Amino acid sequence: MKNRIYPSSVNSALTANLEKSAAHFQKHGWAYVENILSEEFHQELIKNWPSRVWFNPPNQLAKSYDSGFGWCYGSPLSLNTDVYSQHKTIKKFFDCLRSPEFEKRISDFIGRDKDFICYSFTANHTYPGSEVMPHKDSIKDDSKAKNGFINIVFFINGTGGKNSGNLSLSKDNELKDLLVEPQNLKNTCLIYDSLADFYHGFSPVERGKFRWAINSQFCERSYVEK
């Protein structure tokens, strides 16, 4: 089972719905985008989504979901290890997010006349009981990040609705004064400014519900380049 290779035949593609949401993001610091991936690529991601053996169990209480396929800028890029070489669709998505073409699209989307680059990538899998306690990312305390740090959570597949792992944004740290609570977790994404003055999180996932997601972060180039 672990030696099976999941090939990829479809080009990764993000739709123009990204650009259609740029004005909302630039005004509010966040955007929820539906049909973010081409239908063909989304279908292939679902078909080839890694089984749970490829994910690591949670190692912190505040974020109780399984994660895998992690990479962060500056880490050795070991894309020829089993995890990527056996999951061609995941690798293709990762390569797409790290491509100069997509980084240019994100820079234009953010609209600050600055170059943004892909900083991290990870896939995760939630199950009943998983939760992310509402928080602001610690990057807000890093003065080097002041030119911008953006999170993109791609919801690949999930039951959706209330208590489904639908990462939400809220003005308060109890998810009561909500800015957005995504309902559709199939081929949608939530993009938000990690330095903005709001919280993100989700309450424990209900029985019978699940969510597959890919998280990525983009930072302004000067954060990583001297």
Q: For Fe ion, which stretch binds (CB under 5 A), given 43-51, 89-97, 100-108, 130-138?
A: 130-138
Report the alpha-carbon distance of residue 14 to residue 37 in Å, rounded: 4
Binding mask 52-91 for Fe ion (x = CB under 5 A): ----------------------------------------
- Shortest gap between Cβ of 135 and Fe ion (angstroms)? 6
Amino acid at 215: N
Helix (H) or strand (E) holding 215: strand 211-220
Closest CA to 73 of 105, 106, 98, 52: 98
Residue 105 contacts residue 21 (beta carbons within 8 Å): no
Strand 30-34 and strand 188-193: the pairing is: antiparallel
Q: For Fe ion, which stretch binds (CB under 5 A), given 86-94, 96-104, 129-137, 164-172?
A: 129-137
Q: For Fe ion, which stretch binds (CB under 5 A), given 36-44, 91-99, 116-124, 135-143?
A: 135-143
Amino acid at 176: K
Helix (H) or strand (E) holding 110: helix 100-110
CB-wise, 63 or 88, nearer to Fe ion? 63
CB-wise, 137 or 181, nearer to Fe ion? 137
Instruction: Spell 85-95 as b/e; 16+ CB within 10 A means b.
Output: ebbbbbbbbbe
CB-wise, 19 or 174, nearer to Fe ion? 174
CB-wise, 75 or 138, nearer to Fe ion? 138
CB-wise, 110 or 167, nearer to Fe ion? 167
Q: At what angle do helices 88-98 and 39-47 cross, to 10 degrees?
A: 140
- Shortest gap between Cβ of 52 and Fe ion (angstroms)? 22
Residue 142 makes contact with Fe ion by CB under 5 A: no
- Shortest gap between Cβ of 51 and Fe ion (angstroms)? 26
Q: Give the residue, chosen from 137, 142, 181, 206, that forms a contact with Fe ion under the rule CB under 5 A.
A: 137
CB-wise, 48 or 67, nearer to Fe ion? 67
Strand 188-193 and strand 149-158: the pairing is: antiparallel
- Contact residues toward Fe ion (CB under 5 A) are 137
